[in-house]
Structure 1
């Protein structure tokens, strides 16, 4: 089992499920909004967004 504990793009948990694995996630509550906004602006169009604030803990 691989541990991540990092903010992931909104579609990542579904991609993991489609690989017959189970993502363990939670919604980020305490985060640096400025850092997220910068990441969003740079990568949202290219790779997807962070609107759902999903944090991937691990994949079982």
Structure 2
């Protein structure tokens, strides 16, 4: 066998300067995670486009945001 391979990953840097409003597309936005993401993005002042086919997502997860 060959020598063991070691791979080091650098942590991703999140963009922390979100002062500018953005238009964000959330696929699966009616699901549990997607609806919470939509809520947070709206709270932070962004414009959100939510797309979902409701195969597992539910409108009830988004009703309070409409």
**How does the TM-score come out when normalised to structure 2?**
0.32
Q: If each structure's helix is expressed as a fraction of its own residues, which one has the higher value?
A: 1
Higher RCO (CA 8 Å, separation ≥ 6 residues): 1
- In our comparison, the structure showing a higher alpha carbon Rg is 2
**How does the TM-score come out when normalised to structure 1?**
0.34
Q: If each structure's strand is expressed as a fraction of its own residues, which one has the higher value?
A: 1
